[in-house]
Amino acid sequence: RENGWKFAVFTRDPALRYLSAYGSTCVAYRPNRFEHPKECCGPLVNDSNIAVTRMVDMFQSRVWNDYESGNVMGDDHWSSQVNVFKQCGWEHFDPSKVDFHGDISSGDVNQQVKDMLSLNGPINETASSMVDKLFPKHGAVAGHKSPFHRIHPEMFYNDKKVLKAMMAVYSEDYKQIRGVGKGFTDKWLKKTDSERKAAWAKHSRAHVAMGRAVEEEGEGEWDGWE
């Protein structure tokens, strides 16, 4: 800082980040085709078109495994964000002390990026246009997508016990990064059982409308509610 450097970080709601990591490393984007299978550190899902309930069950099993065995801290897909910042230098990247702290899980990310780039003065039109291209206000953000982007996070975390187990795995993030759960975790924890079931029904209807199976044939009513 004494030489004029500014320090900034962008954080993500751990629940959404964990879900994205699972999708990017453990789930095939096409049958038996993976993006980062060696980084999955667990069972692979060879077909992302399986029934939603089956996908949810497999994801939740991974959450419970990490809860019981511990997080895979050696891989940055799974490592806590606090651990990543410590690798870069906690004295510079402690979210409570940086010059700019953005949150990609909430708010206007496009404007947040522009605000970060403006720390040393107004950005020019070229920089602004580049931000608009990579972080558009509407439509898809540039870059890769997890195979899970078609399934709403509320379906994977339908059981609050699963969400709380994931929070325990990433307790370091929730404790040391103020407001890190405001994009999803905090809101979902406040939902009642009836509200969560209503959300599941809403998302299920959307999948059926798109021709995707929600339950496996012969499965009957899903018992993933607790």
Please report whether residue 47 resides in a domain: yes
The total number of structural domains that make up the chain: 1
What pLDDT is attached to residue 220?
47
Note down the domain range covering 12: 8-105+149-209
Q: 125 in a domain, yes or no?
A: no
Reduced to 3 states (helix: H, G, I; strand: E, B; else coil), residue 78 is coil
112 located within any domain: no
Distances (CA, A) of 126 to 65, 110, 122, 131, 223: 47, 14, 12, 9, 53
Residue 70 CA, chain-centre distance (Å), reads 18
- Any domain includes 111: no
Evaluate whether residue 134 is within a structural domain: no
Mean pLDDT of the chain: 89
More confident residue, 11 or 4: 11
User: What is the rounded CA–CA span in Å between residue 52 and residue 38?
Assistant: 24
The verdict on residue 117 lying in a domain is: no
Report the pLDDT averaged over residues 84-105: 95
* Stronger pLDDT, 51 or 184, i.e. the higher one: 184
Q: Is 98 a residue whose pLDDT tops 90?
A: yes
pLDDT tens, 15-49? 999 999 999 999 998 888 888 888 998 899 998 88
Categorize the per-residue pLDDT at 146 as very low, low, confident or very high, splitting at 50, 70 and 90.
low
Beta bridge partners of 103: 11
Single pTM value for the model: 0.88
